[in-house]
A and B are shown apart, each in its own frame.
Chain A
Amino acid sequence: EPEVTQTPSHQVTQMGQEVILRCVPISNHLYFYWYRQILGQKVEFLVSFYNNEISEKSEIFDDQFSVERPDGSNFTLKIRSTKLEDSAMYFCASRKPLGQDYTFGSGTRLTVV
């Protein structure tokens, strides 16, 4: 069964450093998303991406965050200058055209120290 792949599974970074979280969505999907889950809290929407541009973003997704689909297969989330409160599980998801069932990746655990 096709799956969404995320790398790395765990990333530890120092506060103030830049991190890039990588995702390979399912190949025929056209809609891409990032969500995050801070430990013990609910899964929160960060950003949706379609046709090479952001279609919607939450208030969490401030100027420190950016997304890119550089080569038609990878979908990346960049945090420019990480803060302690960015520590969370980050999930990538994709959705096929006209479908409403999301497929989530297994997540990247980001720990900011």
Chain B
Amino acid sequence: DQQVKQNSPSLSVQEGRISILNCDYTNSMFDYFLWYKKYPAEGPTFLISISSIKDKNEDGRFTVFLNKSAKHLSLHIVPSQPGDSAVYFCAASGRTSYDKVIFGPGTSLSVIP
């Protein structure tokens, strides 16, 4: 049962253009959403998050949009840089303090110089 879905396994974008990574979730109890970036042989690195009470959160080149009614979120990276090439995991968490994070399968982003 995939509670967090990332339907695009891979994405290629030209340097300087916008990268848009999409994520859908099925569990309406999720209260907090996170994006992680992962390089091979390293642990996931936290990138940006958004609470369910917001619809947008911005941090530098990274913006996350949340559409609760559609159970959809997206990560926008602009402008994309070659160093952004990595696997991006969408993740979701519930309301309690020790709630586990449920990861999506990831999208591999390649930024072409």
Scan B81-113; emit 1 where CB is below 8 A from any A CB, else 0.
000000001000100011111111110000000
Tell me if B62 is interfacial: C-beta within 8 Å of chain A. no
Task: Check B105–A105 contact: CB distance below 8 A.
Answer: no
Question: How many A residues face the partner with a CB closer than 8 A?
Answer: 29
Task: Check B44–A91 contact: CB distance below 8 A.
Answer: yes
Q: How far is the CA of A31 from the CA of B89 in the complex (A)?
A: 21
Question: Inter-chain contact count A-B, CB under 8 Å?
Answer: 62
- Residues on A with C-beta less than 8 A from B49 are 100-101
Tell me if B43 is interfacial: C-beta within 8 Å of chain A. yes
Task: Check A42–B100 contact: CB distance below 8 A.
Answer: no
Q: How far is the CA of A98 from the CA of B42 in the complex (A)?
A: 26
Report B77 CB to chain A, min CB distance, Å: 19
Report B38 CB to chain A, min CB distance, Å: 8
Task: Check B98–A48 contact: CB distance below 8 A.
Answer: yes
Per DSSP, are chain A's interface residues mostly helix, strand or loop, or mixed? Answer: strand
B4-47 interface with A by 8 A CB criterion: 32, 34, 36, 41-46
Nearest A residue to B40, CB-CB: A89
Given contacts A102-B46, A107-B41, contact A31 B104 (CB under 8 A): no
Q: How far is the CA of A95 from the CA of B98 in the complex (A)?
A: 8
- Residues on A with C-beta less than 8 A from B101 are 33, 45, 93, 102
Given contacts A101-B46, A102-B46, A105-B43, contact A42 B98 (CB under 8 A): no
Q: How far is the CA of A104 from the CA of B89 in the complex (A)?
A: 13
Task: Check A107–B46 contact: CB distance below 8 A.
Answer: no
- Residues on B with C-beta less than 8 A from A41 are 105
Report A3 CB to chain B, min CB distance, Å: 9
Given contacts A43-B44, A91-B43, A106-B42, contact A100 B93 (CB under 8 A): yes
Which of A31, A48, A102, A105 has the most chain B CB within a 10 Å cutoff?
A102
Known contacts A48-B98, A91-B44, A97-B97, then 13 further A-B pairs from the complex at CB < 8 Å, ordered by chain A residue: A42-B103, A42-B104, A42-B106, A45-B102, A91-B43, A100-B34, A101-B34, A101-B49, A102-B46, A106-B41, A106-B42, A107-B42, A109-B41
